[in-house]
């Protein structure tokens, strides 16, 4: 080296150019202004974040969030660990609320339709018009999404006072489950599941980790039930025709035919009764079943069902579902059958609770059908829509758009234009949930409040709908005792406390209670609602026969809500559009999932565009060949194909998003009137065209690299034996490699006692620094992908768009790898899908560092593998030398393309990178430095848990732990002290990563490789 061209020489030469350029480029006539407050808000200190606890408004689950604001702008959303339901977790849709808030396509002003186009009107004119029409325009209909208890109650009162009608509409309807609970237990409420308390879990197709009921809550519960602890873990069996994200987390898959849920559940219940369990009034019904015929109906082996019965018989089993996968013409029967199975298995009262008091807002497609008929018949003079987009999310066959069009005066409250606002007469810009008041009641005894975290964005002249309606009410001479919804909410809270405070232990000053509520975001109190446990006598009208499907195609169409877009309401958010789907890893466009056998029969490869035709319509969409769907099924996600929506959603549609609702007939379950999503057969024909799928999936096979190894449950506690046996396995290979020339082994396992590492004890590295490290428990990770979105939000990571993503230029600092080990739809059996969040491993012995000619990639004294952006000259050598492919390069100025005001979300603590710069995960170094600054000012050490990364702050499964591994008492040091700990590729290339993974634990035997 002494004689060669050293890296420092290179630096000097490049440095000369750089300095001169800087001198030449220096311009002094740039004037920046410092704009101080006139009167400062008490809670704001410039440069210091202000946090607000509030309730996420992106779906009806009511998860608690903490919103970080800087100088009055929301910049980050994290889970609220104090929240009784979400427990610190969140989902991608929740994090992306920021892109709903700052969406450039938000409606900026009230608009009135005049001769087919919209004209802006003032709020005063709009309110005058609204009051006039609601007062004299005829009967009014209020079509809203599910709202919080107080707002829902207000809307009901408002509709009543005007002599109108309110219909609650949610495309992700749960009315079949409600109806089934009513039949089985006589309660008008959703069952509450305590997954965490069960030892054995079965999902009859319910996607409880992504879209069903309360996914974040369920993910936390699932992690505690399914994650291994003390050598035990719960088993999870997925029964269904398509492996969703939830399905991929199962230990066993019974690929049952769609529509067979009821038969399977009843047959297993019948088997349990034959073994001595009690089915109460349903004994006769379930005794009349047998496993063989159920297995035949489901298209699976009878042994699989008998094994299922064995496991239920072993005790403490819980069955979930069937959720939306079972929303066919027999949806109530399917739900009822699963509830009966739970009762027979003894889960009711233990892991399922049924409250005799009605809960929140029940949506019903039946009410919608009735409203459509009434609108069609001219029963309404005014229709008000809010928080819903039925023109898009209902099948066109439902006739909604036509009927709605017949209403003389249609009002739409919305944040962004969509298919429904497009045909309204008056469009009113609604405030975003982060700008308004509200509440949620996620479970009895758990109340969560929503407060505005910032003033409404001045670019959009929006007002919260409830405020507008209260103003309208006062113009019409109705008094609701409040001028704003904030007052209404306060009054409701005060009167509730006055009536119930004493009984639930919340007595005392209501103002102090309110302040406490705003500080913590939620309150838990004794749940006094009476519980029901006994099955009611059966309702004979419910038939359990398999539903028939319409159409004459040879494949059954399964339409499922997207984990990213739900019913499509979130399709205008670039973070979600570019978030690889947790199952397919595809972004920006739609796809149709086909089994490899089916694809072969049709002569298809992934990317071949197919025409899916039902009796109602057809769509063209690329096929994606997936072993996780049955041969007789084709599955398409909701959420694509918006025709009128904000810009990003239109890009999505133009780029190949399709709306599968256009294929569905307007079928409903006869008993509950729930919309049937699985109701038609379709034909799939190749169009002869091919498109490249925009996918981040490099390979679904680990190619013997064992990047994501697993351990059999039976092998736990025998790690030492395994290592000894492995002398001739991978360990032996490693030794052989190390004995070869040029390999310098660094003898460390990355534990506290290994530091300082040999060779890192000089100069700045000499002192007692922390060593930041991370532990990721792969037995808990569900692969939901919220960490990816949170990382983007925290670190100003841009999206690149469909074309750039197709070139492999996506910028995510964190990705989720997904490998199939055992996925077979042809028969029931063990399932093994490996999920691995991959981020910069912050190697002690990092291959990226020595190849950087300008020392931009280097090691910090506290063990971070740092990237100095202002040094980086973009050679990309580091990325080429990184074995983990975690470095990403700014090929273009992606960040400067981010439109106003979406760039208001940028985290002011993180540099916004421009083109030509390499970047990667920093372990959220801005948070480390911030905590370090605070600790230094207070003259103390950084406490364990004080620094947490963005990905960690939202993980619903609590799979990520971060901290100083040199502190033997830290959580991360404790977490890595486990026989399951391994580091990716470390034994092969000796990179000494700081990211420690804990192996997934399987029930079946696995080839453990060398780990």
Binding site for another protein (CB under 8 A): 3-5, 9-10, 13-14, 16-18, 20-21, 24-25, 27, 29-40, 45-48, 764, 858, 860-862, 864, 866, 868-871, 909-912, 922, 925-926, 929, 933-934, 936-937
Closer CB to another protein, 617 or 932, in the complex: 932
Which of 459, 465, 582, 423 minimizes the C-alpha distance to 148? 465
Nearest-angstrom CA–CA distance, 426 and 386: 12
Nearest-angstrom CA–CA distance, 190 and 178: 5
Residue 376 in contact with residue 218, Cβ under 8 Å?
Answer: no
State in angstroms the smallest separation of the CB of 18 from another protein.
8
State in angstroms the smallest separation of the CB of 949 from another protein.
13
State in angstroms the smallest separation of the CB of 1 from another protein.
10
Closer CB to another protein, 36 or 740, in the complex: 36
One DSSP character per residue, 788-832 reads HHHHHHHTTPPP--HHHHHTT----S-EEEEEEEE--TTS-EE-E
State in angstroms the smallest separation of the CB of 14 from another protein.
7
| E strands, 265-415, in order | 317-320, 352-355, 382-386, 409-414
Closer CB to another protein, 20 or 288, in the complex: 20
Nearest-angstrom CA–CA distance, 535 and 354: 11
Closer CB to another protein, 30 or 115, in the complex: 30
Nearest-angstrom CA–CA distance, 931 and 992: 26
Nearest-angstrom CA–CA distance, 346 and 363: 29
State in angstroms the smallest separation of the CB of 37 from another protein.
4
State in angstroms the smallest separation of the CB of 79 from another protein.
24
Nearest-angstrom CA–CA distance, 802 and 948: 32
Closer CB to another protein, 685 or 926, in the complex: 926
Closer CB to another protein, 327 or 927, in the complex: 927
Phi, psi of 169 (to 5 degrees): -125, 130
Residues 6+ apart with CB under 8 A from 107: 414, 415, 416, 417, 421, 427, 428, 429, 460, 462
Residue 640 in contact with residue 659, Cβ under 8 Å?
Answer: yes
- Supply 1005's token pair: 């035997």
Closer CB to another protein, 523 or 910, in the complex: 910
State in angstroms the smallest separation of the CB of 851 from another protein.
16
Which of 931, 945, 587, 503 minimizes the C-alpha distance to 788? 587
State in angstroms the smallest separation of the CB of 948 from another protein.
16
Closer CB to another protein, 26 or 720, in the complex: 26
Closer CB to another protein, 31 or 512, in the complex: 31
State in angstroms the smallest separation of the CB of 681 from another protein.
56
Nearest-angstrom CA–CA distance, 241 and 556: 10
Closer CB to another protein, 355 or 909, in the complex: 909
State in angstroms the smallest separation of the CB of 383 from another protein.
42
Place of tokens 């931009």: 856
State in angstroms the smallest separation of the CB of 759 from another protein.
17
Nearest-angstrom CA–CA distance, 823 and 833: 7
Q: Evaluate the CA torsion angle 14, 16, 22, 25 in order and state its sign.
A: negative
State in angstroms the smallest separation of the CB of 754 from another protein.
21
State in angstroms the smallest separation of the CB of 43 from another protein.
13
Cis peptide preceding 405, ω within 30 of 0 = no
In whole angstroms, how far apart are CA 900 and each of 49, 104, 905?
Answer: 22, 6, 10
State in angstroms the smallest separation of the CB of 9 from another protein.
7
Secondary structure of residue 974 in the 3-state scheme: helix
Which of 790, 836, 796 minimizes the C-alpha distance to 697? 836
- Supply 675's token pair: 């919309």
Nearest-angstrom CA–CA distance, 232 and 905: 43
Q: Evaluate the CA torsion angle 139, 124, 154, 672 in order and state its sign.
A: positive
Closer CB to another protein, 124 or 764, in the complex: 764
Residue 288 in contact with residue 267, Cβ under 8 Å?
Answer: no
Burial class (CB in 10 A: 0-12, 13-18, 19+), 430: buried
State in angstroms the smallest separation of the CB of 322 from another protein.
48
End-to-end CA distance of the chain: 36
State in angstroms the smallest separation of the CB of 856 from another protein.
9
Closer CB to another protein, 48 or 534, in the complex: 48
Q: Evaluate the CA torsion angle 473, 476, 481, 484 in order and state its sign.
A: positive
DSSP annotation of 589 reads: S
Closer CB to another protein, 489 or 872, in the complex: 872
Which of 121, 171, 113 minimizes the C-alpha distance to 143? 171
Nearest-angstrom CA–CA distance, 556 and 683: 9
- Supply 139's token pair: 């009967």
Closer CB to another protein, 29 or 736, in the complex: 29
Closer CB to another protein, 720 or 937, in the complex: 937
Closer CB to another protein, 12 or 515, in the complex: 12
Cis peptide preceding 925, ω within 30 of 0 = no
State in angstroms the smallest separation of the CB of 882 from another protein.
19
SS3 assignment for 255-299: CCCCCCHHHHHHHHHHHHHHCCCCCHHHHHHHHCCCHHHHHHHHC
Closer CB to another protein, 6 or 378, in the complex: 6
- Supply 211's token pair: 């879209």
Closer CB to another protein, 522 or 922, in the complex: 922
Count of residues in the chain: 1011
State in angstroms the smallest separation of the CB of 10 from another protein.
8
């Amino acid at each position: 080296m002494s004689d060669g061209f050293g890296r420092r020489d290179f630096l000097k030469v490049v440095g000369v150019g750089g300095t001169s350029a800087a001198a030449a480029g220096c311009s002094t006539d740039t004037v920046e202004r410092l704009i101080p407050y006139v009167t400062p808000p008490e809670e704001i200190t410039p440069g210091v974040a202000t946090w607000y606890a509030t309730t996420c408004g992106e779906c009806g689950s009511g998860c608690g969030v903490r919103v970080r604001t800087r100088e009055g702008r929301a910049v980050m959303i994290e889970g609220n660990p104090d929240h009784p339901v979400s427990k610190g977790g969140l989902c991608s849709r929740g994090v992306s609320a920021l892109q709903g808030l700052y969406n450039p396509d938000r409606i900026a002003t009230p608009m009135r339709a005049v001769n087919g186009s919209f004209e802006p009107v003032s709020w005063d004119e709009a309110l005058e018009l609204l009051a006039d029409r609601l007062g004299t325009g005829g009967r009014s209909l209020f079509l809203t999404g599910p709202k919080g208890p107080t707002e829902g109650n207000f809307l009901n009162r408002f509709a009543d006072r005007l002599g109108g009608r309110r219909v609650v509409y949610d495309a992700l309807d749960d009315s079949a489950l409600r109806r089934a609970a009513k039949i089985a237990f006589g309660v008008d409420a959703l069952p509450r599941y305590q997954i965490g308390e069960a030892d054995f879990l079965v999902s009859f197709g319910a996607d409880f980790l992504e879209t069903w009921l309360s996914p974040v809550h369920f993910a936390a519960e699932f992690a505690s039930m399914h994650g291994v602890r003390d050598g035990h873990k719960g088993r999870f069996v997925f029964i269904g025709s398509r492996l969703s994200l939830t399905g991929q987390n199962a230990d066993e898959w019974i690929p049952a035919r769609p529509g067979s849920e009821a038969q399977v559940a009843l047959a297993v219940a019948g088997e349990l009764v034959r073994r001595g369990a009690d089915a109460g009034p349903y004994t006769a019904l379930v005794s009349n079943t047998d496993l063989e015929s159920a297995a035949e109906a489901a298209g699976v082996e009878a042994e699989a069902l008998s094994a299922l019965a064995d496991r239920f018989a072993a005790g403490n089993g819980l069955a979930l579902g069937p959720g939306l996968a079972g929303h066919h013409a027999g949806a109530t029967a399917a739900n009822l059958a699963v509830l009966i199975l739970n009762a027979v298995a003894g889960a009711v009262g233990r892991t399922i609770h049924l409250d005799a008091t009605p809960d929140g807002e029940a949506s019903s497609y039946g009410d919608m059908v009735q409203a459509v008929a009434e609108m069609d018949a001219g029963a309404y003079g005014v229709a008000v829509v809010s928080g819903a987009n039925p023109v898009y999310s209902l099948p066109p066959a439902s006739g909604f758009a036509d009927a709605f069009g017949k209403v003389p005066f249609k009002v739409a409250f919305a944040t962004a234009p969509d298919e429904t606002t497009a045909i309204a007469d008056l469009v009113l810009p609604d405030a975003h949930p982060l700008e308004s008041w509200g509440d949620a009641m996620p479970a009895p005894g758990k109340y969560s409040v929503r407060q505005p975290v910032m003033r409404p964005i001045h670019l959009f002249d929006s007002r919260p709908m409830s405020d507008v309606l209260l103003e309208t009410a006062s113009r019409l001479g109705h008094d609701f005792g409040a001028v704003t919804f904030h007052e209404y909410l306060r009054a409701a809270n005060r009167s509730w406390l006055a009536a119930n405070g004493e009984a639930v232990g919340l007595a005392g000053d209501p103002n102090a209670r309110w302040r406490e509520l705003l500080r913590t975001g939620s309150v838990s109190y004794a749940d006094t609602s009476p519980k029901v446990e006994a099955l009611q006598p059966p309702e004979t009208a419910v038939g359990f026969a398999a539903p028939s499907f319409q159409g004459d195609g040879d494949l059954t169409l399964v339409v499922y809500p997207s984990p990213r877009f739900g019913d499509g309401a979130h399709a205008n958010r670039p973070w979600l559009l570019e978030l690889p789907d947790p199952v397919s890893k595809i972004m920006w466009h739609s796809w149709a999932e086909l089994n490899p056998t089916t694809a072969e029969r049709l002569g298809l490869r992934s990317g071949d565009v197919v025409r899916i035709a039902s009796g109602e319509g057809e769509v063209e969409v690329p096929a994606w060949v997936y072993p996780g769907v049955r041969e007789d099924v084709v599955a398409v996600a909701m959420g694509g194909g918006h025709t009128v929506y904000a810009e990003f959603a239109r890009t999505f549609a133009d780029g190949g998003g399709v709306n599968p609702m256009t294929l569905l007939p307007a079928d409903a379950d006869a008993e509950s009137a729930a919309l049937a999503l699985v109701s038609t057969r379709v034909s799939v024909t190749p169009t002869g065209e091919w498109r490249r799928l925009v996918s981040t999936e490099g390979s679904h096979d680990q190619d013997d690299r064992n990047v994501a190894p697993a351990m059999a449950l039976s092998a736990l506690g025998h790690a030492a034996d395994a290592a000894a046996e492995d002398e001739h396995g991978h360990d032996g290979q490693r030794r052989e490699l190390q004995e070869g020339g040029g390999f310098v082994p660094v003898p460390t396992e990355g534990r506290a006692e290994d530091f300082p590492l040999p060779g890192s004890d000089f100069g700045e590295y000499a002192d007692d620094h922390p060593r930041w490290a991370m532990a990721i428990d792969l037995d808990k990770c569900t692969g939901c992908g919220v960490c990816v979105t949170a990382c983007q939000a925290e670190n100003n990571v841009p999206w690149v768009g469909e074309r750039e993503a197709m070139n492999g230029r996506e910028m995510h600092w964190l990705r989720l790898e997904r490998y199939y080990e055992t996925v077979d739809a042809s028969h029931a059996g063990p399932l093994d899908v490996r999920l691995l969040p991959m981020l910069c491993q912050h190697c002690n012995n990092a291959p990226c560092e020595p190849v950087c000619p300008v020392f931009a990639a280097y090691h910090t004294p506290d063990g971070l593998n740092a990237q100095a952006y202002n040094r980086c000259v973009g050679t990309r050598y580091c990325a080429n030398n990184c074995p983990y492919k975690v470095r990403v390069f700014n090929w273009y100025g992606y960040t400067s393309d981010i439109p106003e005001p979406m760039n208001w979300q940028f985290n002011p603590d993180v540099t916004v990178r421009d083109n030509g710069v390499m970047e990667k995960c920093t372990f959220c170094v801005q948070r480390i430095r911030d905590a370090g600054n605070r600790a230094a000012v207070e003259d103390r050490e950084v406490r364990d848990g004080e620094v947490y990364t963005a990905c960690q702050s939202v993980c619903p499964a609590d799979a990520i732990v971060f901290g100083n591994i040199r502190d033997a008492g830290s959580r991360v040091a404790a977490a890595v002290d486990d026989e399951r700990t391994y580091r990716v590729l470390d034994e092969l290339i000796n990179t000494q990563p700081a990211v420690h993974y804990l192996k997934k634990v399987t029930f079946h035997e696995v080839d453990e490789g060398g780990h």
